[in-house]
């Protein structure tokens, strides 16, 4: 669908142009622009390498290599053509090749990228800040490798392949970038076409559900549900993130403070907002305003328990607890219960 120029009396379609006819080169122009404005094609991504290659065939190079805020590596492949070439197959091969990168190696690669591009900064410090980790033990690098394909358009062969690969558990996005002329100006329309933005969260949940079933040998219900007991009361059928929220809630009922619990967890697990907000809408607005302050921390509502029944109040402050938990959840629950449970709290996997 074309882009239109609006006047008081008419809509005039702008002529579409190809990057080649505009004299815009793939590596020298598009790649340089996108690496500096990566949010346009891959939000929440930090570029750590360009033209990356760590294998014998030096002709095979990843256009851009990034890492998202959850620690997933992101392979970004660019084409200025309207069919996408064979970029899907190239990207899958590259994703497999970088999947074994460690945190230390990622730091080395990123520092080399900063030095080559004459960018100031300490790679490890910048990476930890991007991930919101206090140190490398807070999470795991590369649990999954995402792929972002950027092209002027994609043929049916590529779109069909990408849709099928996503159904198999991969995470591939197709971003279409089309150029238009408006007199002397060149306009670019950037749209994610796979998955559609409004379906992206749904696709993530489906992929995670399939992964849990695969890990659990088809029995994810038994493997990933918990029971928490506090004094004489038992809370059953809790998923992992709900189980640790319940453990925390029970500990707070025993008289501990959120700050005491946070001291036991190296990674920030509470988002705090001055004042007491029993209404979710009011809390979200206050948290958003707090994040925009000069010293404010980034706030993404999808990463926190913000329902009224989940919010925590202590000394005139509202606390939202993190819902981002992985392989260290059970260990964290054991540590919290051992230190603050007073013998009244327990949990078990059901």
**Sequence ranges of the domains in the chain:** 4-211, 222-349
pLDDT average, residue stretch 113-133 = 91
- With cut-offs at 50, 70 and 90, classify the pLDDT of residue 120: confident
Which are the contacts of 105, defined by CB distance < 8 A and separation ≥ 6? none
181 pLDDT exceeds 60? Answer: yes
pTM value? Answer: 0.59
- Of residues 36, 43, 173, 175, the one with CA closest to residue 113: 36
Tens of pLDDT, residue by residue over 97-110, are 898 898 999 999 99
b/e per residue, 301-321, with b = 16+ CB within 10 A? eebbbbeeebbbeeeebbbbb
What percentage of the chain reaches a pLDDT higher than 70?
Answer: 90
> Reduced to 3 states, what is the DSSP secondary structure of residue 234?
strand
Are 222 and 240 within 8 A, CB to CB?
no
> Per CATH, which fold does 4-211 belong to?
Trna Endonuclease; Chain: A, domain 1 (3.40.1350)
């Amino acid at each position: 669908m074309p882009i239109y120029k609006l006047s008081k009396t008419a809509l005039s379609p702008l002529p579409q142009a190809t990057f080649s006819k505009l004299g815009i080169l793939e590596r020298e122009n598009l790649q340089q622009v996108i690496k500096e404005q990566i949010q346009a094609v891959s939000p929440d991504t930090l570029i750590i390498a360009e033209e990356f290659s760590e294998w014998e065939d030096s002709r095979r190079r990843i256009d851009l290599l990034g890492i998202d805020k959850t620690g997933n590596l992101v392979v970004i492949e660019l084409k200025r053509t309207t069919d996408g070439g064979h970029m899907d197959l190239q990207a899958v091969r590259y994703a497999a090749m970088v999947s074994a990168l460690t945190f230390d190696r990622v730091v080395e690669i990123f520092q080399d990228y900063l030095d080559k591009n004459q960018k100031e900064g300490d790679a490890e410090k910048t990476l930890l800040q991007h991930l919101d980790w206090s140190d490398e033990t807070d999470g795991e690098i590369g649990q999954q490798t995402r792929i972002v394909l950027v092209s002027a358009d994609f043929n049916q062969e590529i779109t069909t392949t990408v849709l099928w690969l996503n159904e198999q558990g991969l995470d591939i996005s197709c971003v279409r970038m089309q150029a238009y002329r408006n007199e002397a100006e060149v306009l670019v329309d950037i749209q994610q076409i796979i998955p559609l933005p409004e379906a992206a969260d749904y696709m993530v949940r489906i992929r995670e559900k399939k992964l849990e079933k695969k890990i659990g040998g088809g029995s994810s219900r038994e493997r990933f549900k918990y029971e928490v007991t506090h004094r004489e009361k038992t809370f059953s059928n809790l998923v992992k993130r709900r189980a640790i929220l319940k453990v925390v809630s029970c500990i707070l009922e025993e008289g501990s403070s959120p700050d005491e619990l946070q001291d036991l967890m190296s990674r920030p697990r509470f988002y705090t907002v001055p004042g007491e907000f029993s209404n979710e809408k009011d809390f979200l607005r206050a948290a958003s305003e707090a994040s925009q302050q000069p010293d404010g921390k980034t706030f993404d509502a999808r990463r926190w328990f913000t329902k009224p029944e989940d919010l925590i109040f202590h000394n005139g402050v509202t606390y939202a607890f993190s819902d981002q938990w992985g392989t260290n959840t059970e260990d964290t629950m054991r540590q919290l219960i051992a230190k603050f449970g007073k013998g009244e709290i327990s949990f078990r996997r059901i």
